[in-house]
Structure 1
Amino acid sequence: MLDQLIGAVRAGESRPLVVHGEPGVGKTALLDYVGVQALGYHVLRGSGVQSEMELPFAGLHQLCAPLLAGLDMLPQPQREALRTAFGMSAGITPDRFLVGLAVLGLLSDAAQERPLMCLVDDYQWLDRTSAQVLAFVARRLGTEAVGLIVATRVVDGDLGGLPALEVGGLRPADAGALLDTVLVRPVDAQVRDRIIAETRGNPLALLELPRGLTPAELAGGFGLPGAVTLSSSIEGSFAREVGALPDPSRRLLLVAAADPSGDPALVWRAAALLGIGPDAGVPAAEAGLVELGVRIRFRHPLTRSAVYRSASPEERRQIHRALAEATDSQSDPDRRAWHRAQAVSGTDEEVAAELEHSANRARARGGLAAAAAFLLRTATLTLDPAKRAARALAAAETHIHAGALDTAHDLLAMADTEPLDDRQRAQADMIRAQLAFVTNRGSDAPPLLLKAATRLGPVDPGLSRATHLDAVCAAIFAGRLAGEGAGVLEIARAARAAPPPSDDETRVPDLLLDGTLASYTHGYAAGLPSLRAALAGFGTGMSAEEELHWLFLATTTTLRLWDDGRWDTLSARHVQLARELGSLTELPLALTTRGYMLLFAGDLDGATALAGEAQAIGDATGATLAPYGALGVAAFRGDAAAVSDLHEAALRDVTRRGEGVGITFAEWARALLGNGLGHYDDALSAAQRGTAYAPDPGSLIFPAVELFEAAARTDQVGAASEVFDRFTEMTTASGTDWALGLQARSQALLTVGDAADGLYRDAIAHLGRTRLRAELARTHLLYGEWLRRMRRHNAAREQLRTAHTMLESMGMTAFAERANRELRAAGGAVRKRTDASRYDELTAQETQIARMARDGLSNPEIASRLFISAHTVQYHLRKVFTKLGVTSRSQLDRALPDSRGA
């Protein structure tokens, strides 16, 4: 398998591979084999070090250091992210996936000269940020001629799904042959067989266990205790060898084991402080346990572990104290602080404060795992109850962001044992709410946020109001799946107790809160003035971070106000700002709301591209957003199979996570599909489920219009009357062209006789003044169908031909076919569709890349959006040019369907 991988990379392909198995099974030997066989390749090597797991980007720096001369070739955001991550420049917290893109670019550029092979050993001991970035890169390799082989003990979630090679123990015959190479004297046959059986053919165990055993032990009676794991057995073998060394040599190895930087100058400085002379290294080197050269290397990682674990706690503290003193406080303050912390047996405020600074530096470099570890140790080093509580809460919040939820729970428990002031109690409630939102969206988060907001009222009115708004938003998101007492009406009524703004100037979040609460507690129309004022002034006086925080709520508020103009503007701004700030947690939401704007504007290709990008980010980040974008695209296109699969997946996902708003979207998509295909009974059932959550009028925005159409087509107008009353209460109060257009269309559907004619005309007039071409096209279709049933065939053909042309050009296949059937029934015919076979040959990713290239994005910009390398972009563009019969990017404008006007 390794030979095939080497050959594939030589041929220009990229191949990732995870080599996994228990310690000592031979993973490192296999990496060494590849390093030798990859003749003519540029070979990069890196290795995880257990003691460096809390130092962010340490493993990544080790691997990429030889390539840093190529930093200037990267796009500026990626270049700056990587420079900040590696401590080469100061800057804001770099997003780890921008760092991932930078690493992907470095590898791709390096492979332009000759094939590149990256070998990473002991992945399980990499710092968390490096591990995530490498897993990200492995999934984005395309055609760069890069091989990436990772050796690890267990394939975890980050590496799941990548090609893998499990390395097991040797077969008994081979294990016996290997054991015989290290046995220098005859061994009892039963002892030999027991060694082979109990090591389970593990090569390192076979080589190491016989060392240090007396002839008597080998002659008979030898056995591995059943309770001792393989790893412990091997470490015990190493420990016996270490214990046989002179005391200065053993202590020298302990110094080296406690600081795995491999810097001999640092190790020797610390050794000198402990009174260990230069001659101490000779016995250790002669025993083959360590190499003392330009770098200090142990024979095997378990050697380091055995050395460190065999020392007493006091001895370890002495070693760390010496290493802290020997570490330069200016060039490496974080490592010095960590050693100082390990040297403390109780509490120490000075060291705790130093670790706190280290945590801030780690966070600035994007090292959340390191920051979390530093803050955890800071809390345990703190004696003062007030400071201990504050540090425990800070550590808990950081651990949530770092994904260590169990530790966050423990830190909250630690904080709860200390006296908390009102602000700290509120902070604890907010942290509990964050944990609840991550683990079970909708059930616990709203009341916890409400509790935190109430506590904050007397001490920080501004933050209290913002937290009240967060609580209402969480309740909206939870919808029909909210826990008892956490429904949106209950939370909104309780949030009316929020303190007033602290000054005379009413800011956008205040307006959003006041308007949202008014709409729930006093009726839809009551909230309109404040919400319109909030949207009109959105962004004014707000920092970029604050604007990004509230943009999702602002964009969804445009839907509730039926304001397609601001929906267009704010959804575009949301995507832009999320990109600029590199927020890959916010970007999927932004892409989804923007994608729905494009859907209703008739740009299905654009929406498909955004849904694909959101999916790529989800795959990269492990985000748990339901497939809203893909579901909407499939429904608009009339893809029954895709809607069925995505509908089921979405319902399972949102139900598991308590995301009730997802049920509304899933049922709306099914109803839209049913209406497009003419399956009106199915559409009616789905639309009824979609509009069933009465407490939130927002649940009517999309599914209600599908309900009215399905009810009219199944002669069940009565089934829609109650929803129609609630719907028209909103649309009449809103008064926008979008609202009034859909109101007129819906009323026409439910009206018998000639009165419907004027309503359809009003609907077309109103919707014609909006950006919503898809709704306009459907209105032409409905009006044409009504005209045909009224036997006004000439007028019907005009409306149906317009509808068919619009729907087909947008790619709304099911509705277009419905228009075609109606047109034929009215005695008309449609023009045959222009042959687009060449365009249809493009894959989804090729279509995305072609559209972005046509719209002026460079290869690096496309690569950044799609999480692939620029080299892979160029590879796909060559295929696009061939399929479309063009030779340059400028010709894509005429070769691709144009829906940018939407």
Structure 2
Amino acid sequence: MGRAPECATLDQLITAVRSGESRVLVVHGAPGVGKSALLDYLEDAGAGLRTMRAVGVESEMELPFATLHQLCVPLLDRLPVLPAPQRAAVETVFGMRTGNPPQLFLVGLAVLSLLSDASESGPVLCLVDDAQWMDQASAQVLGFVARRLLAESVALVFGARVRTQHLLGLPELEVAGLHKADALALLESTTHARLDPPIRDRIVAEAKGNPLALLELPRERTVTQLAGGYGLLQTDTLPTRIEHSFLDRIAVLPRQSQLLLLVAAAEPIGDPALVWGAAEKLGVTPGTALDDETDQLVSFDVRVTFRHPLVRSAVYRNAEDADRRAVHLALAEVTDARTDPDRRAWHLASAAAGPDETVAAELERSAGRAQARGGMAAAAAFLQRSVALTIDPVRRAERAVAAADASVRAGDPAAARRYVDIADLDADSELLRARTQLVRGRIAQAAGFNNEAPPILLAAAQRLESFDMDLARETYLLAWGAAAWGAADAENLVTISETIRELPPPQGNPRPIDLVLEACALLVTEGLDTAITTLRQAMDALVDLPVPDVLGWGWAACGLSPAVWSEQIMIETYSRAAEVVRAAGILTELPIYLASLGAATSLIGDFTAAAGIVAESEGLAAATGIPLAPYTTLILTAMQGKEDEAAAIIAATIEQASADGQLTGVTTAHWAAAVLYNGLARYEEALSAARASTRIAQLVVSVWVLPELIEAAVRVGDDTAAHEALDHLVAAAEAGDTDWSHGILARCRALLADEAADDLYRESIERLQHTLMRPELARAHLLYGEWLRRQSRRVDARRELRTAYDMFVTIGMAAFAERARRELLASGEKIRKRTVETTENDLTPQERQIALLVGEGLSNPEVGARLFLSPRTVEWHLRKIFTKLSITSRRQLRDALPHAE
């Protein structure tokens, strides 16, 4: 990132070597600045070249020729071609023979000869990393070789922290810190918590663009530690040796200077006015605190920055507790309570020597403000600190419940468990214990769909009825969602649904949650026929569901949208919900919405967009440590016809989901397998997978798999199984009563019809043309074409099969495209096999996502908010996108990108 000039230099080096020239380069810079990454880039750019790599090892610096031995071992088979003195020199220094130590000149000449001989059969790339730790003998020999490479196709590249004596005078590439824009992009790409701009800017300034420092900073921090900078100082991950070197310098400073450093370390923004204001309250003045030694550690300019990013933490962590409290109190006194109440509250909390109800209450108010502006991680941090300062057990329990809830929503389930345990110990009322149980259910749910969450949430809902019916109804819906979309215990789902139906009817006009609850219960206890009217009303309400409701129970309700057979509602519901949750920063639930949105996007045939959603989901799962079931990947790879990749994911998912009792995972995996094998025309396997999927009474997938079962059963001649499946499909599709449901139903009926087949296929195509379901429409054309060919209507068959083939290729459904191509050949059509189009013009999934959003008119900050990227990162990606698409402006994106209809 941000290394375009350096990479260009390395590319030129590789080009020169490929053309028969020699090149030498010393890549040098500070530790962590990215030298090894550039050497890795060079190795990748030199694909096809014979590459040898060595690394200087500090512990081997006293071993002569240690680094040279690493580099030359692959060339030792060429020793016989060397002149005898050279061969003897190499064999002696590498311990292959005994003898007197040879002259280094002779060893260098031998290595030069070996490289020259190796280059006769192709260019050679030699990479030596951590060259500052080469033993002296190796450094002398390689320095000698580097200065004598002339006409050989050899590149010799060193990566070093400093230019050692033996490498002086060689061509060099200095690697400095990243520019601010790229440093910000790198920091924010690894930090999923929202950082206040001043905090972020200070981190970047102190890191001086060093990529390793920027990458390591958030690595061991939780999202609550990072939020707002409030927890950046509470860490135990500093490299001890470097920290001690700074502490030794600090220890000899005057007391006034040490206090000034501590004030600067404790003030997270780096505001000089605040730092000097607090210092003055402690009796510290510039005249008494600043000298040359202080200036070497901290700089006072527009922003207060430490000379090295580790100085700040070293100062803070090793200060006396009393000094830290005094400094924070001084900072609180100079922080404006009106313009920055939250940071003032944090300083007051850090200044507290023990429990303090006034400060705890202020922290609680700060949490409310943070949550209101979408800073869930900051809210969790405030609440956690508030708990620590609360002495009254009842208030502590209430704040602990709130801290646990905010923590799990912010993606820190480990912290949530700690605080819910505190709440359990101190809770003295049934209401508080019920709220604690609700949070435990949320924590269990955050760990992935499982059998643990539904009964916990059900019990919490029942306990809440006596105190807060609105919260109880919301909790019932969460319990229903946990049981419906995850757990394999059908009894749980039935019990929850029956309990919901026994609830007293809501007063006044039904709210969205009332409609959703009723629809959920009816769907399970009475079936789709009875529930469909209420379901449609509920789905209409979900499209414009208020943000608090989306955040509270939206995930449980949105999964119902496919049941009404409306792809438009399905896409709109998932898209808006994901946008709301993303904006709120609730990282534990966002992957659920993204998985649903990715699956829906795959179903309408926009595979590149679906791949982008998968990439975002995987990044979130990695950041939060919450397991992510690969449902979108299952469906996407199956529809693409990638047999090896899909089969491996399907098998792994079935094994894992079965062990965890995850109904959705098992059903979805078998459904994906049925799609895959129908595309590959392996109908026995498709039928087996479809049957396995329908054995589990999952609310949506077990219906969607019926068309796969019918198609496979007809192809293998099992009409009984096909008719049984059709009977089940008729009830669901007719209740749905949409073009999608009727189009699929007509297509399946046509498979089992005789004289009416022609009309049914035409009806299917006509219906599906009015939907977004391009893959289903293409399959209707394929089945119609196959039927026409068997009826000996070859001209008509070729028309339908060509349409199907073209659609499959455009969408990216390789297996179905090949099935259509074979049918065309059988009908007498001569057709050239086409490669399935990627429709992404070599864009990566993330680049494709950014391009689509910018093409829709979103600004860089808006795109960044959607994808957890900084605006600078978006701009960096856009430059690459413009180059790949050969365009120059944002306005050209819409025309440059292929779109799904």
Of residues 690, 694, 709, the one that matches 1:691 is 694
Q: 1:396 to 1:32 in 2, by over 3 A?
A: farther
Amino acid paired to 2:615: Q
Amino acid paired to 2:454: P
Q: 1:374 to 1:689 in 2, by over 3 A?
A: same
Partner of 2:493: 488
Deviation (angstroms), 1:358: 3.1
**Secondary structure, aligned partner of 1:498:** coil
Q: 1:449 to 1:499 in 2, by over 3 A?
A: farther
C-alpha distance in 2 between matches for 1:783 and 1:640: 25
Structure with larger RCO (C-alpha < 8 A, sep 6+): 1
Of residues 321, 346, 350, the one that matches 1:342 is 350
State the Cα RMSD in Å: 5.3
Partner of 2:200: 60
C-alpha distance in 1 between matches for 2:177 and 2:510: 68
Q: 1:379 to 1:608 in 2, by over 3 A?
A: same
Deviation (angstroms), 1:780: 3.6
C-alpha distance in 2 between matches for 1:410 and 1:583: 19
1:669 aligns with 2:672: yes
Partner of 2:436: 428
Q: 1:656 to 1:5 in 2, by over 3 A?
A: farther
Paired positions, count: 734
Identity of aligned residues (%): 37
Of residues 371, 385, 395, the one that matches 2:379 is 371
1:352 aligns with 2:351: no
Of residues 448, 454, 464, the one that matches 1:456 is 464
Q: 1:292 to 1:273 in 2, by over 3 A?
A: same
Partner of 2:608: 608
Partner of 1:90: none
The gaps in structure 1 that reach 5 residues or longer are 67-106, 108-115, 136-151, 156-166, 168-198, 209-233
Amino acid paired to 1:379: V
Amino acid paired to 1:404: D
Deviation (angstroms), 1:62: 1.4
Provide TM-score, normalisation by structure 2.
0.67
Provide TM-score, normalisation by structure 1.
0.67
1:416 aligns with 2:414: no
Q: 1:797 to 1:508 in 2, by over 3 A?
A: same
C-alpha distance in 1 between matches for 2:900 and 2:315: 66
Partner of 2:414: 406
Deviation (angstroms), 1:522: 2.3
**Secondary structure, aligned partner of 1:345:** coil
1:743 aligns with 2:745: yes
Q: 1:6 to 1:654 in 2, by over 3 A?
A: farther
Partner of 1:147: none
C-alpha distance in 1 between matches for 2:294 and 2:897: 69
In the alignment, is the contact (CA less than 8 A) between 1:588 and 1:614 conserved in 2? no
C-alpha distance in 1 between matches for 2:525 and 2:600: 29
C-alpha distance in 2 between matches for 1:257 and 1:599: 50
Partner of 1:817: 818
Amino acid paired to 1:433: G
Deviation (angstroms), 1:472: 0.8
1:303-328 CA distances to partner (integer Å, 9 max, x unpaired)? Answer: 77777667665565455545544555
**Secondary structure, aligned partner of 1:829:** coil
Q: 1:249 to 1:499 in 2, by over 3 A?
A: same
1:833-855 CA distances to partner (integer Å, 9 max, x unpaired)? Answer: 89999979645557667767777
C-alpha distance in 2 between matches for 1:488 and 1:671: 26
In the alignment, is the contact (CA less than 8 A) between 1:324 and 1:339 conserved in 2? yes
Of residues 518, 525, 528, the one that matches 1:521 is 525
Amino acid paired to 1:881: S
1:731-772 CA distances to partner (integer Å, 9 max, x unpaired)? Answer: 344444433443343344356x55656655554555455443
Deviation (angstroms), 1:611: 2.9
1:672-731 CA distances to partner (integer Å, 9 max, x unpaired)? Answer: 11111111122122212222212x342323222111211222233445565444333323
C-alpha distance in 2 between matches for 1:559 and 1:714: 29
Partner of 2:619: 619
**Secondary structure, aligned partner of 1:615:** helix
Q: 1:802 to 1:366 in 2, by over 3 A?
A: closer
Q: What does 1:427-446 correspond to in 2, within 5 Å?
A: 427-446=435-454
C-alpha distance in 2 between matches for 1:299 and 1:848: 39
Partner of 1:392: 400
Deviation (angstroms), 1:429: 1.4
**Secondary structure, aligned partner of 2:396:** helix
Deviation (angstroms), 1:477: 1.5
In the alignment, is the contact (CA less than 8 A) between 2:779 and 2:804 conserved in 1? yes
Deviation (angstroms), 1:478: 0.7
1:877 aligns with 2:876: no
In the alignment, is the contact (CA less than 8 A) between 1:41 and 1:117 conserved in 2? yes
C-alpha distance in 1 between matches for 2:571 and 2:304: 59
The gaps in structure 2 that reach 5 residues or longer are 13-28, 37-129, 133-159, 165-171, 188-192, 230-234
Q: 1:597 to 1:536 in 2, by over 3 A?
A: same
In the alignment, is the contact (CA less than 8 A) between 1:274 and 1:322 conserved in 2? yes
Amino acid paired to 1:414: I
Partner of 1:531: 535
Deviation (angstroms), 1:573: 5.0
Q: 1:748 to 1:378 in 2, by over 3 A?
A: same
**Secondary structure, aligned partner of 1:527:** helix
C-alpha distance in 1 between matches for 2:890 and 2:309: 52
C-alpha distance in 2 between matches for 1:253 and 1:877: 46
In the alignment, is the contact (CA less than 8 A) between 2:198 and 2:269 conserved in 1? no
Q: 1:852 to 1:829 in 2, by over 3 A?
A: farther
C-alpha distance in 2 between matches for 1:343 and 1:32: 47
C-alpha distance in 1 between matches for 2:515 and 2:644: 43
Q: Which moved more, 1:454-463 or 1:465-474?
A: 454-463
Q: 1:426 to 1:268 in 2, by over 3 A?
A: same
1:563 aligns with 2:571: no
In the alignment, is the contact (CA less than 8 A) between 1:454 and 1:498 conserved in 2? no
C-alpha distance in 2 between matches for 1:709 and 1:838: 27
Partner of 2:21: none
Amino acid paired to 1:7: E
Partner of 1:729: 731
Q: 1:688 to 1:38 in 2, by over 3 A?
A: same
